[in-house]
């Protein structure tokens, strides 16, 4: 029986370790759900086989692409990385471009769901903001390869998928925008430019998964960064403006 992780995440206390464990085991679940929803474009019929291969493929594709870039990754690279032959690979997707779309799709659905669910039951805008920042950071920590990939490979997408990627970017930004506007109109936040503020928040969140080497080298943990960011943002939106 499939377990609803999103709800747990919503209620969880947002310690990173708990968050991490919860999501990590569900990697196969994600692929399973993906398989069930995309049966038509996958030649393999046995669920277990398909899921096993998909997990390998997504993992390897992200790892290799994030080092060399998706266009530079050859199917032979992927074959070596997964341990699957070319033929086996092409049973899971119909073309390299198709694979690209699959990767995008697969992550996007997870992200927006978790990000909107995480504030269910929270009313205070300040709490909402904190929790959303934290959840975004934790999520991008767990799914770092996907976040990085998604950011860097947008330009390689086809027209249709490219549009979707942009919409997705704006959608997560809008989550912050809404919280900020709510906070302003209820008088809890100062009357800042909500659009620019949301953009700035997004930019700093992105830095966490894009420049991970930097933070790793400096031994900054997600929790460190999370606390810092909340302070940084709150200093601005809680300070009275003239």
Q: Which residue's CB is nearer to its own copies, number 42 or number 62?
A: 62
Other CB atoms within 10 Å distance of the CB of residue 62: 23
What does the per-residue mask of binding to its own copies show for 130-169, with x meaning CB under 8 A? ----------------------x--xx-------------
Stretch that binds its own copies, among 37-45, 65-73, 99-107, 180-188 (CB under 8 A): 65-73
218 binds its own copies (CB under 8 A): yes
Q: Taking CB within 5 to 8 Å according to partner kind, which of its own copies, DNA, none is near residue 86?
A: DNA
Q: Taking CB within 5 to 8 Å according to partner kind, which of its own copies, DNA, none is near residue 156?
A: its own copies
86 binds its own copies (CB under 8 A): no
| Separation between Cα atoms, residue 166 and residue 187, nearest integer Å | 31
Q: Which residue's CB is nearer to its own copies, number 73 or number 89?
A: 73
71 binds its own copies (CB under 8 A): yes
**Cα angle for residues 4, 170, 128 (degrees, 5° grid):** 55
Q: Which residue's CB is nearer to DNA, number 64 or number 143?
A: 64
Q: Which two tokens stand for residue 205?
A: 């969140």
Among 162, 195, 212, 223, indicate the residue that binds its own copies (CB under 8 A).
195
| Separation between Cα atoms, residue 53 and residue 101, nearest integer Å | 17
18 binds its own copies (CB under 8 A): no
Q: How far is the CB of 154 from its own copies (least distance, A)?
A: 10
Contacts with DNA by CB under 7 A lie at 43-46, 49-50, 53, 73-76, 83-88, 90-91, 94-97
Q: Taking CB within 5 to 8 Å according to partner kind, which of its own copies, DNA, none is near residue 38?
A: none
Q: How far is the CB of 62 from DNA (least distance, A)?
A: 15
Q: Taking CB within 5 to 8 Å according to partner kind, which of DNA, its own copies, none is near residue 220?
A: its own copies
φ and ψ of 186, to 5 deg: -90, 5
Q: What is the torsional sign of CA 20, 26, 27, 30?
A: negative
Q: Taking CB within 5 to 8 Å according to partner kind, which of DNA, its own copies, none is near residue 129?
A: none
């Amino acid at each position: 029986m499939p377990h609803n992780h999103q709800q747990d995440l919503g209620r969880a206390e947002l310690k990173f370790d708990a968050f991490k464990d919860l999501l990590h085991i569900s990697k196969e679940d994600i692929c399973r759900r993906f398989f069930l929803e995309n049966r038509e474009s996958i030649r393999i019929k046995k669920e277990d086989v398909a899921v096993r291969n998909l997990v390998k493929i997504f993992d390897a594709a992200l790892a290799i692409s994030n080092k060399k870039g998706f266009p530079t990754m050859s199917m032979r690279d992927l074959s070596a990385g997964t341990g699957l032959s070319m033929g086996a690979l092409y049973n899971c997707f119909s073309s390299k471009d198709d694979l690209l779309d699959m990767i995008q799709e697969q992550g996007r659905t997870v992200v927006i769901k978790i990000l909107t669910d995480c504030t269910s039951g929270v009313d205070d805008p300040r709490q909402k903001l904190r929790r959303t920042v934290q959840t975004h950071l934790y999520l991008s920590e767990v799914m770092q390869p996907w976040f990085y990939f998604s950011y860097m490979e947008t330009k390689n997408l086809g027209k249709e998928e490219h549009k979707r990627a942009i919409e997705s970017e704006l959608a997560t930004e809008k989550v912050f925008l809404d919280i900020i506007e709510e906070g302003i109109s209820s008088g809890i936040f100062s009357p800042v430019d909500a659009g620019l503020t949301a953009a700035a928040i997004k930019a700093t969140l992105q830095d966490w998964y894009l420049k991970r080497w930097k933070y790793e080298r400096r031994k900054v943990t997600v929790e460190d960064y999370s606390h810092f960011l909340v302070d940084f943002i709150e200093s601005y939106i809680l300070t009275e403006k003239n």
